[in-house]
């Protein structure tokens, strides 16, 4: 099946794809920067609109709740899982594996060297009061901490969890046409150092925090913080479940009325994923514009083992299932559902066949 025989004639008003991409390691960033997303969409008579070109409220609602009928979102897995459980008609059409479930960071002078040293210590866990989105960072952190503590023979009963209120940014963000226009070095460092848990760690209110790969690298370079455990150093791929896989989700209306647009997005991402495999250093420069890592060299090191070509691999689906089960068990989502019913692989197959 190809994009031609999946295609249906949609009205001209429906030829604009609304899309957003999280600041994470996915091939669609490269497809945007190299012009391949625009090229593939143009080949089916469509164009793209980045959600960052909308008002702050509009982009936040659409990105987190998947509210637009002609929308694709690429990136973190918790918001689309949350929105689907709430009734959003979003569909998983591709995934990208990620090999870093997270780390535990402590102060460099804390005297903490192993997970066992965390017994009786204060561990931060953020909480957001925002009602328009999932508390995705808390969920990511709680799942990651659960696994990390288990590796040290500990449970949450062995540490003191300290809730740290999250801060919702109210800063005015001017409209942009792509994420790389909004992701300067100053903002990246601000996101790393001004995170409330990091502030609490620095001033001694807590002894440890959960962190992601890019943020941890920025913090360690100050000489004030260190990573004592990292889920990516284990051969067990299921430990990546707190952060991966990344998901490409599309609106059901888009898939029903203009499937060729979704296929065009996937083709651009597949092309970019294959190019990254042969051009890691050049790709690192591009991805450094849109992710947390401080330098392109950091990105190059971190993407060495990532397969950027979108897939629906059995491992990715298994980790997505584990994440969804965690979210339901810990009441981040109220409605359970079968992951298999959320995935539609025909569009990825068509994209691969077309290439």
User: Is the pLDDT score of 191 beyond 80?
Assistant: no
Rounded average pLDDT over 155-166: 96
At residue 44, the 3 state secondary structure works out as: coil
Q: With bands split at pLDDT 50, 70 and 90, how would you rate the model's confidence at 6? A: very low
Omega before residue 175 within 30° of 0, cis: no
Residue 168, strand partner residues? none
Give the separation between CA 13 and CA 303, rounded to whole angstroms: 38
How large is the greatest C-alpha to C-alpha distance in the chain, in angstroms? 65
Q: Residue 346 corresponds to which tokens in the numbers above?
A: 């025909």
Mean pLDDT across the stretch 313-337? 97
What burial letters (b/e) apply to 122-143, b meaning 16+ CB within 10 Å? bbbbbeeeeeebbbbbbbbbbb
pTM for this structure? 0.93
| Mean of the per-residue pLDDT values of the chain | 92
Least confident of 156-160, 164-168, 232-236, 244-248: 164-168
Q: Which two tokens stand for residue 174?
A: 């001017």
Q: Enter the tokens of residue 304.
A: 């060495």
Domains and their CATH numbers in the chain: 3-98+244-354 (3.40.190.10), 103-239 (3.40.190.10)
Structure tokens at 235: 């051969």
Name 343's bridge partners. 92
Could you report the per-residue pLDDT of 68-108, keeping only the tens digit for each? 999 999 999 999 999 999 999 999 999 999 888 899 999 99
- Supply the pLDDT for residue 292: 84
Cβ atoms of 242 and 99 closer than 8 Å: no
Nearest to 188 by CA among 289, 332, 47: 289
Does residue 185 surpass a pLDDT of 70?
no
Mean pLDDT score, 239-251: 94
pLDDT above 70 (res 9): no
| Residues sharing a CB contact under 8 Å with residue 347, sequence separation 6 or more, in sequence order | 6, 93, 94, 250, 255, 259, 262, 263, 266
3-state secondary structure of 27: helix
Query: Strand 209-211's sheet: what is its strand order?
Result: 209-211, 103-107, 225-230
């Amino acid at each position: 099946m190809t994009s031609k025989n999946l295609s249906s004639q949609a009205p001209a008003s429906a030829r604009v794809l609304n899309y957003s991409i999280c600041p994470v390691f996915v091939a669609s960033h490269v497809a945007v920067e190299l012009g391949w997303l625009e090229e593939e969409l143009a080949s089916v008579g469509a164009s793209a609109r980045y959600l960052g070109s909308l008002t702050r409220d509009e982009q936040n609602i659409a990105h987190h709740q998947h509210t637009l009928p002609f929308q694709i979102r690429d990136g973190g897995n918790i918001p689309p899982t949350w929105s689907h459980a709430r009734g959003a008609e979003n569909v998983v059409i591709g995934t990208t594996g990620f090999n870093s479930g997270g780390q535990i960071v402590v102060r460099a002078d804390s005297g903490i060297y192993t997970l066992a040293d965390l017994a009786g210590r204060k561990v931060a866990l953020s909480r957001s009061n925002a009602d328009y989105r999932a508390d995705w960072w808390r969920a990511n952190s709680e799942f990651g901490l659960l696994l990390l503590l288990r590796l040290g023979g500990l449970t949450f009963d062995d540490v003191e969890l300290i809730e740290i209120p999250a801060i919702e940014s109210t800063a005015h963000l001017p409209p942009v046409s792509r994420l790389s226009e909004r992701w300067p070095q100053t903002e990246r460092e601000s996101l790393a150092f001004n995170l409330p848990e990091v502030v609490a760690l620095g001033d001694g209110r807590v002894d440890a925090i959960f962190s992601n790969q890019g943020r941890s690298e920025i913090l360690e370079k100050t000489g004030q913080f260190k990573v004592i455990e990292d889920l990516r150093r284990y051969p067990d791929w299921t430990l990546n479940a707190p952060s991966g896989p990344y998901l490409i989700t599309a609106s059901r209306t888009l898939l029903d009325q203009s499937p060729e647009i979704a296929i065009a997005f996937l083709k651009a991402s597949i092309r970019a994923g294959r190019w990254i495999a042969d051009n890691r250093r050049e790709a690192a420069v591009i991805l450094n514009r849109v992710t947390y890592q401080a330098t392109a060299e950091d990105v190059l090191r971190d993407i060495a083992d990532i397969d950027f070509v979108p897939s629906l691999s059995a491992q990715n689906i298994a980790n997505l299932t584990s994440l969804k089960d965690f979210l339901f068990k810990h009441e981040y989502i109220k409605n359970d559902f079968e992951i298999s019913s959320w995935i539609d692989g025909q569009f990825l197959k068509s994209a691969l066949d077309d290439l």
